[in-house]
């Protein structure tokens, strides 16, 4: 048979396939989310996320050293406090677990990794919402912004290089950027969780941070049915001064990720969330899929869709796989 187009010519050998690969992974494009729990002396396994733990301060040090050796780009820290209240006081306490962990991380690996912090109230509030509540029990957008500004200053003063604004309050990037600049903290970068959806795939994360949430976050996180809205949110965050923007979750929202990446003048990241992690681990544990291939394929897919970097609980493992 005679026809000129035979794409299989470029798939004949491993060497040929490697030569024409369009999307490559590098360890520096991977960011490891880490949970640090107050009041424990040993790491606590998270049942719904096999292989992931709530770290003690000591185990945090060990894992940070491993992450630095693996050459990943950074870590995103989440705090799990012993005590919570209505306004999330632990998030602004300089001796709260997240700020303590941040100072430790900067001291240990601040020259090797970008130490990042989650800037949200949900881990610290007794009601589990990402903001403070009004008299009717609704999340008060503007009152929450005041708390975000206080958290931003606390985290920046603790040494965080990049603040992950994950609460999805309107105007959060603008007010935090202004608060940082007014305090002379002009070098602290802001990551705007621009397109963050009210997803079922956050389930295991709730266990990871001992969430107190009753109900849902549909009044401030995006409707999974809406694609154009993700672009609108991303454009607003860029206009308000975000240094990086985020799409979250990743795998169920690759269309949104591709849309945002195509229009953004700033780096675009994606978060491979707890439910995505748990599904692959569960299927692999049953022998239904090849675990390592599924991990790497999932991360490649996110990068191929346009993510400049990926937050993934497999960051260290994937980095080691890339370099071996």
Active site residues: 196, 248
> How far apart are alpha carbons 250 and 146 in whole angstroms?
29
> How far apart are alpha carbons 124 and 80 in whole angstroms?
7
Dihedral angle computed from the Cα positions of residues 185, 186, 191 and 193, in that order, rounded to the nearest 10 degrees: 80
Place of tokens 């719904």: 48
Q: Return the DSSP state at 116.
A: E
Nearest 5 degrees, angle CA 38-CA 43-CA 159? 50
CA distances from residue 249 to 131, 161, 276, 289, 300 in whole angstroms, order as listed: 20, 23, 8, 22, 15
DSSP 3-state of 194? strand
- Residues 238-272 as b or e (16 or more Cβ within 10 Å = b): bebbbbbbbbbbbbebbebbebbbeebebebbbbb
CB atoms within 10 A of CB 298: 20
Query: How many Å separate Cα 154 from the centre of its chain?
Result: 19
CA distances from residue 17 to 54, 91, 157 in whole angstroms, order as listed: 40, 48, 48
Closest to 194 (Cα-Cα) out of 219, 171, 161: 171
> How far apart are alpha carbons 76 and 304 in whole angstroms?
22
Residue 287 near residue 216 (C-beta atoms within 8 A)? no
């Amino acid at each position: 048979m005679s026809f000129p187009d035979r794409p299989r010519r470029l798939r004949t050998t491993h060497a040929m396939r490697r030569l024409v690969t369009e999307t490559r992974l590098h360890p520096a494009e991977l960011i490891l989310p880490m949970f640090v729990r107050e009041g424990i002396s040993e790491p606590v396994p998270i049942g719904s996320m096999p292989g992931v733990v709530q770290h003690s301060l000591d185990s945090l040090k060990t894992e940070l050293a491993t992450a630095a050796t693996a050459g990943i780009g950074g870590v995103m820290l989440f705090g799990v406090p012993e005590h919570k209240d209505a306004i999330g006081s632990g998030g602004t306490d300089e001796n709260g677990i997240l700020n303590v962990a941040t100072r430790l991380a900067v001291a240990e690996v601040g020259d090797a990794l970008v130490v990042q912090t989650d800037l949200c109230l949900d881990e610290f509030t007794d009601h589990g919402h990402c903001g403070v509540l009004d008299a009717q029990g609704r999340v008060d957008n503007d009152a929450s912004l005041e708390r975000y500004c206080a958290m931003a200053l606390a985290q920046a003063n603790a040494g965080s290089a990049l603040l992950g604004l994950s609460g999805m309050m309107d105007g959060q990037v603008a007010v935090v950027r202004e608060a940082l600049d007014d305090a002379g903290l002009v070098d602290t970068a802001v990551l705007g969780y621009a397109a963050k959806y009210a997803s079922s795939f956050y389930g295991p994360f709730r266990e990871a941070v001992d969430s107190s949430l009753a109900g849902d976050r549909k009044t401030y996180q995006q409707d999974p049915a809406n694609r154009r809205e993700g672009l609108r949110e991303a454009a607003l965050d860029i206009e308000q001064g975000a240094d990086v923007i985020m799409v979250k979750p990743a795998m169920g929202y690759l269309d949104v990720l591709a849309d945002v990446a195509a229009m953004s003048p700033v780096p675009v990241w994606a978060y491979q969330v707890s439910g995505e992690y748990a599904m692959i681990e569960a299927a692999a544990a049953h022998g239904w899929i090849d675990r390592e291939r599924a991990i790497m394929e999932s991360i490649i897919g996110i990068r191929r869709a346009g993510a400049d970097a990926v937050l993934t609980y497999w960051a260290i493992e994937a980095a080691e796989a890339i370099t071996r």
